[in-house]
């Protein structure tokens, strides 16, 4: 019987200790803020971004002059116009019998990938083509490899797989009719068709 009473007493002491341990420390939070790491936005529209040094510093948006804001706006508009100009290019050419994307096409494809990432409802059909050399089946497979290479590049750079569709036309839809290296070079391509 004594064992049961002392067990109850120990249990009550543990419970009291648990409740005491979970209670607040008695410190009150003021209405001004949450501590030294957080600063409120000033009422005039500016804010200071913490620079990580623990000293005054950082970047303050209220410290920008009207001219600096206008210059930043012009720069942003210029960059948007440059990206839009890059997206005007929708045909990408390949060397003979390869599906390797040329270095000069990469920046343009990155601009397309960014556009797709920023516009989740946009969709693109990636059409792969080949020149007339080789069998019909081989050229269909080569056009598919080219389209898939461009699709992978777009996805790695921000596009969603659900935004892309690939199709291969092989040699069936030449950009230029005829024979010769100049003609064949124009037919070895991938075209992006945005819906």
- How much is the pLDDT for 145? 98
Q: What is the CATH number of the domain that holds 159?
A: 3.30.1330.60
CA torsion 92→95→96→99, rounded to 10°? -70
Q: How many helices (H) and strands (E) does the chain have?
A: 5, 6
- How much is the pLDDT for 57? 52
- CA-CA distance, 90 to 105, in Å (whole number)? 10
Domain contains 100? yes
Count of structural domains, the chain: 1
- How much is the pLDDT for 186? 96
Domain contains 29? no
User: Which helix (DSSP H) or strand (DSSP E) does residue 125 occupy?
Assistant: strand 124-129
Domain contains 157? yes
| 142 torsion bin: left (phi>0), alpha (psi -120 to 50), beta (else) | alpha
Domain contains 62? no
- Rounded to the nearest angstrom, the gap between the alpha carbon of residue 147 and the centroid of all alpha carbons in its chain is 21
Domain contains 41? no
- How much is the pLDDT for 98? 97
Domain contains 109? yes
Domain contains 54? no
Interhelix angle 103-118/136-156, rounded to 10 degrees, is 60
CB-neighbour burial class of residue 94 (10 A; exposed 0-12, middle 13-18, buried 19+): buried
Q: Which domain holds residue 120?
A: 94-194
User: Going by DSSP bridges, is the β-strand pair 48-49/189-194 parallel, antiparallel, or unpaired?
Assistant: unpaired
Q: Is 189 helix (H, G, I), strand (E, B) or coil?
A: strand
Flag residues of the chain having pLDDT under 70: 1-63
Domain contains 185? yes
- How much is the pLDDT for 15? 64
């Amino acid at each position: 019987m004594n064992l049961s009473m002392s067990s109850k007493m120990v249990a009550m002491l543990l419970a009291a200790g648990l409740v005491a341990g979970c209670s607040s420390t008695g410190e009150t939070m003021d209405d001004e803020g949450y501590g030294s790491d957080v600063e409120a936005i000033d009422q005039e529209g500016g804010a200071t971004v913490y620079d990580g040094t623990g000293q005054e510093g950082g970047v303050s948006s209220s410290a920008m002059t009207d001219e600096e804001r206008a210059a930043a706006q012009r720069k942003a508009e210029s960059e948007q116009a440059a990206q839009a100009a890059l997206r005007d290019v929708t045909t990408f050419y390949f060397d003979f019998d390869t599906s390797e994307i040329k270095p000069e096409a990469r920046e343009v494809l990155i601009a397309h990938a960014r556009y797709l990432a920023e516009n989740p409802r946009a969709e693109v059909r990636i059409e792969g083509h080949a020149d007339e050399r080789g069998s019909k089946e081989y050229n269909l497979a080569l056009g598919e490899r080219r389209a898939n290479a461009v699709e992978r590049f777009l996805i790695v750079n921000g596009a969603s797989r659900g935004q892309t569709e690939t199709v291969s036309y092989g040699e069936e839809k030449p950009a230029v009719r005829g024979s010769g290296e100049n003609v064949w070079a124009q037919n070895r391509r991938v075209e992006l068709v945005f819906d």
